[in-house]
Structure 1
């Protein structure tokens, strides 16, 4: 099969098209013919060697998949050959999504939303599950609460805004000025230009802050939280400093790492089918241009997601 392999850590051009063996599904697995795979910031960190999730190269990157079931191992009852599925298999273990085929546990996939093509379905799993597990599973976000989403124009952020609105929350969002119209179109009630001054000025009574930026955003967000408010970070998960600062302020703090979850995926699919959740894909590139996709994601200017077609 075709795949994008790297044999060393480094810049985006270490990723090269190769021919490799098709994966063999194990007990409980399905083999999925990949139609599209999305690119996430974690992919670039692993490629560069900054995040050693997969050990030493060679390896095939990627976790987000949308495609068609090609083979079902006897005993798997959730899918049949020909079913259209999407998921985030095996994260943070190797899934090898930048390839023509992926083999992974059947419960790491759900049926693709009928209203999304493979490109948009592939854009949803990792970023969508991150937002869902933060806002719903961890924060228990409910109607009438106030949530602040940092980096609302990015992959996780643009889906978090929509999920929060679907839960009935009032949504505040930080984004660059160039993304304000886009973030408003997602349903954000208030959009703040983080580069125009202190984003925290005048803000208070926030029930949940979702921080996917880091670099001091979490610390600066604590004073705006309501009593017993919750700061969730995706980037400073083990920060002793933030833990201590939140405790001293009488606020809650937690870090989150996304997990494969077919229940959460099914909830995202339901929202998509209802028209309440729409992944935005700014760039669609062929698999062979994975290096270019990494250049784009490292530019940090993308609205929504970048997707590779296979």
Structure 2
């Protein structure tokens, strides 16, 4: 099988496609023929060596989210069979023709969703829904979503709106129309953010930091209680301001809930699809920190 690997930490160019033996599922596992794999900021941090809490073994594989079709079923697996379309999370091996997954972790893919969109929702759906739950976002809240045009911001904005919250989302001016389409009030990130939000006349009650930098400080300046300022990027200023470090973990149940909404058209995820051979270009785009929605590799 083909797999994206790298032999040393570094820029996107360290990635290359390697031929590896096809894996086989063990008891309680399934093998998925991957049709699409998402590219996350996590992948970028790991590739550059900044994810120090997770050791690398070179040649190191990469990738955390996939969508595809089960083609082999291990012993003891009940309720799943070859030919079933699924999606789910993996650990540093999803950018490959095949991925082995514990049967309990896969989520059936609705026919209404294509493989790229399904793969693009995996991480963002779990992170966004978990963060909103942990911060207690609901009807009457005014959520300040930092980095609203990214994949997590895209999903969090829509889920918060469905929960009855008003959403103010930050982005560059060229993404303001996109945010309006999601139901958010757009503002431009940067030094003038606090004044821009105050000018809207809305009292922000909760905030999610998906970018780092000034986001936590600005949220507290706007009067958000520190415990309702959540960071999903682990910004060091969280401790200084008493903000919440959101560590929601993976949840197939939460993922399935968002996927059901997406199948009904209530949650959308724009994807930018790159052929697998262009894995370097895909990582370059994600590393730039710009763009809307999700970058996805196609392995079909």
TM-score of the aligned structures, taking structure 2 as reference length:
0.92
Residues 31-40 or 267-276, more deviating:
267-276
Aligned residues: 294
- Supply the distance in 1 between the matched residues of 2:293 and 2:241 (Cα, whole angstroms): 32
3-state DSSP class of the match of 1:200?
Answer: helix
**Aligned CA distance change for structure 1 residues 228 and 308 (closer, same or farther; 3 Å):** closer
- Supply the distance in 2 between the matched residues of 1:167 and 1:272 (Cα, whole angstroms): 15
- Supply the distance in 2 between the matched residues of 1:87 and 1:56 (Cα, whole angstroms): 23
- Supply the distance in 1 between the matched residues of 2:245 and 2:253 (Cα, whole angstroms): 21
What's the counterpart of residue 289 of structure 2? 300
* Alignment counterpart, residue 123 of structure 1, candidates 120, 125, 129: 120
Is 2:204 the partner of 1:215?
Answer: no
* Alignment counterpart, residue 150 of structure 1, candidates 146, 151, 156: 146
**Aligned CA distance change for structure 1 residues 42 and 17 (closer, same or farther; 3 Å):** same
- Supply the distance in 1 between the matched residues of 2:42 and 2:137 (Cα, whole angstroms): 26
C-alpha RMSD of the superposition:
1.8
- Supply the distance in 1 between the matched residues of 2:225 and 2:213 (Cα, whole angstroms): 24
For 1:68-79, list aligned pairs within 5 A: 68-79=69-80
For 1:23-62, list aligned pairs within 5 A: 23-52=23-52, 53-62=54-63
For 1:59-208, list aligned pairs within 5 A: 59-89=60-90, 94-136=91-133, 138-188=134-184, 190-195=185-190, 197-201=191-195, 202=198, 205-208=203-206
What's the counterpart of residue 277 of structure 1? 267
**Aligned CA distance change for structure 1 residues 142 and 95 (closer, same or farther; 3 Å):** same
Runs of 4+ off more than 4 Å: 226-229
Contact 2:31–2:73 (CA<8 Å) still a contact in 1? yes
Give the unaligned 5+ runs of structure 2. Answer: none
